[in-house]
Homo-oligomer: A and B are copies of this chain.
Amino acid sequence: MLKRDVLRKPKTLYLLTNNDGKLREFRELGASHSLKIAKAGLEKLEIQSSSLEEIATYAALTGYLSLRKPLLAEDAGLFIQSLNGFPGPYSSYVFKTLGNEGILRIMDGMNLRRACFRSAISLVLDIQTIKVFTGEICGSISNKVRGKSGFGFDPIFIPEGYTRTFAEMSVKEKNKISHRAKAFNSMMEWLENNSF
C-alpha cells in the first residue's frame, strides 16, 4: 500500500463541478493538451473561506476520497475593487441570488469599475501530492449586461485591452486569456515538467 507507482501525466482528469459552462471550458482547454476532462458525478463540498485555494483544495480532497481517481476542483471568483473584493469566493452564490443586474445596481454611479477574475485549480493526482494552480485576469465591470456565451458574471466583465465582455466571446477566445485558462496552463506546465 505504501509503495508508490511512478505517476505519469494522466489521460483523463475528473472535474468536480455542476457548472456546464465551466465543464465546457475545461474540456476545450484539455483538448489542446490531449487530456480528457470527465465530469465527476459527486457533490462538491465547499467550505466558507476568503481563499479560493482553500475552497478548491478542500473540495478536491473530499472529492478524491470518494472517487479515488485523478481529480481537479476549481474555485473562481470576481473580485470588484470598489466593493472590497465582493463577491469574491461567494460569486456563485451571489450570482444565483443577485445576478448580473444586482451587481450593476450596487455599482450604479461608481466610476471606479476595476475588477479581476481569479481562478484556483486544485489537482489531486493521487493522495501523495496535492497542488494548487492560480490565474487572474483584470478588467472592468461594464455598464450593462452584454452577450450570451460563458456563464456567471461573464456578461458584465470586460477584460483589459478589449471592448467586448467575456460573454461576447467564444469559448475559444475566452480560453486564450481567461483566469481559468491561465491556471489550467500553469497546471499543464507542471504536469509536463515534473516527475512528481
A127 touches B2 (CB 8 A): no
With both beta carbons as reference points, the residue of chain B lying nearest to A127 in the complex is identified as B53
Contacts A/B (CB < 8 Å), 21 sampled: A1-B50, A1-B51, A1-B52, A2-B53, A2-B118, A2-B120, A2-B134, A4-B134, A47-B65, A49-B65, A51-B127, A53-B128, A54-B65, A57-B61, A57-B127, A58-B61, A61-B61, A128-B132, A129-B129, A129-B132, A130-B130
Known: A2-B53, A61-B61, A129-B130. 18 other contacts (CB 8 A): A1-B50, A1-B51, A1-B52, A2-B52, A2-B118, A2-B136, A47-B65, A51-B127, A53-B127, A53-B128, A54-B65, A58-B61, A128-B131, A128-B132, A129-B129, A129-B131, A130-B130, A130-B131
Q: Which residues of A contact B (CB under 8 A)?
A: 1-2, 4, 47, 49-54, 57-58, 61, 65, 118, 120, 127-132, 134, 136
Chain B nearest Cβ from A90, distance in angstroms? 14
A61 partner residues in chain B, CB cutoff 8 A: 57-58, 61
Cα distance A58–B61 in the bound complex, in angstroms: 8
Cα distance A127–B65 in the bound complex, in angstroms: 18
Chain B nearest Cβ from A51, distance in angstroms? 6
**3 closest A-B pairs by CB:** A130-B130, A53-B127, A2-B134
A132 partner residues in chain B, CB cutoff 8 A: 127-129
B1 touches A127 (CB 8 A): no
A54 touches B127 (CB 8 A): yes
A57/B120 contact (C-beta < 8 A), A2-B136, A47-B65 known: no
Chain B nearest Cβ from A194, distance in angstroms? 10
A57 partner residues in chain B, CB cutoff 8 A: 61, 127, 130
Cα distance A130–B52 in the bound complex, in angstroms: 16
A1 partner residues in chain B, CB cutoff 8 A: 50-52, 118
